[in-house]
Chain A
Amino acid sequence: MLSIKDFFTFLFAGILFGFVLMKSEVVSWFRIQEMFRFDAFHMYGIIGVAIFVGLISIQLIKRFGVKDTSGNPISIPPKDPKQVYRYVIGGTFFGLGWALLGACPGPMFALLGSGLTIMIIPILAALAGTYTYGALRSKLPH
């Protein structure tokens, strides 16, 4: 389990992330509709800049061999690009759901926190979807 210090560290990181999701309207069903219509730059700006900042940061961490706060080396587990089916089919299923619900997992929970209690329904459905994948995993192409 987590130490008290780790608990508050990750809790605070989550609060910051959830706060930004709300302030930038990333949680909005309307913003997702707008994004998939290519009607505004807003979402592309956020995702694009986030990737750029993440990319520079990871390059710096790798280049300088930066260690984490416990002194352990930082490593990012690679995903296997040979499993094309799972990324194309799974990704398409995810995209259908993202546009239908107008929210991906982070926003689902941030919206719940903002007082939109109906989000319990899609969260439970997402758990059912996750469970279904786990149960069918060996039968699906990967």
Chain B
Amino acid sequence: MLDFLYQPWPWYVAGPIIGLTVPLLLLLGNKTFGISENLRHVCASCNIGNVEFFNYDWKKNGAWNLTFLLGVILGGLIGGFIFANPEPIALAASTIDDLRALGISDFSGFVPSEIFTWDVLGSGAGLAILVLGGFLVGFGARYAGGCTSGHAISGLSDLQLASLIAVVGFFIGGLVMTHFIYPVILP
């Protein structure tokens, strides 16, 4: 059993558990699964400039979700540090070849150490990836009214047409970035 906790989990184990998060939160208190809503709650908690979009009772609406988010951080600690997967990720060989050609050489962790390090503060490209990437995730998620959890998982589970349109948008953006923009910014 313990061995299972130390190994990477295949898609057919992880998929059902992630899917069950949707009914779990509904049953626990009629809550809709969506992580990025928390970014709005944090903005609402300090609402600099009194922006109307952030004028709502974030404690009443968001306390449960912010608590869930705290759990996600702890889950990251338990799953990614205490029970860290022992081997590098078994990536497709073609992806590794592609990324090597883009200058990525360290495949040992969850993320390339060339970009995800405090040393990037001194480099243009790495810092741009972290700052611009984060900004677009935050901006796009709220503009679209949800992220991967809110639209792709919750929304599609509930057969919402809006979520299908949003997920198509996610893939348009993701494919353009991966195939056309990344090759330019990682020379």
Residues of A that sit less than 8 Å from B by CB: 1-2, 6-7, 9-37, 39-43, 45-55, 57-58, 60-61, 66, 68-70, 72-81, 83-84, 86-106, 108-119, 121-135, 137, 140
Contact = CB atoms under 8 A, between A and B. Distances in A.
Contact of A49 (B8, B11, B29): B11
Q: For the complex, would chain B's binding face be called helix, strand, loop or mixed by DSSP majority?
A: helix
- How many B residues are at the interface, by size bracket? 35 or more
Given A58-B22, A129-B137, 6 more contacts: A1-B63, A2-B63, A23-B14, A98-B174, A99-B174, A114-B81
Contacts of B141: 90, 94, 104-105, 126, 129-130
B133 A40 contact: no
A66 B85 CA distance: 38
A34 B137 contact: no
Nearest to B118: A118
A97 to B, nearest CB: 3
A2 to B, nearest CB: 5
Contact of A11 (B23, B42, B68): B68
Contact of A133 (B81, B142, B148, B163): B142
24 contacts: A13-B28, A15-B75, A22-B78, A24-B10, A25-B89, A34-B95, A37-B94, A37-B95, A37-B98, A45-B11, A47-B148, A53-B22, A54-B158, A58-B26, A58-B158, A76-B154, A76-B158, A91-B151, A95-B171, A95-B177, A96-B181, A105-B138, A108-B134, A131-B43
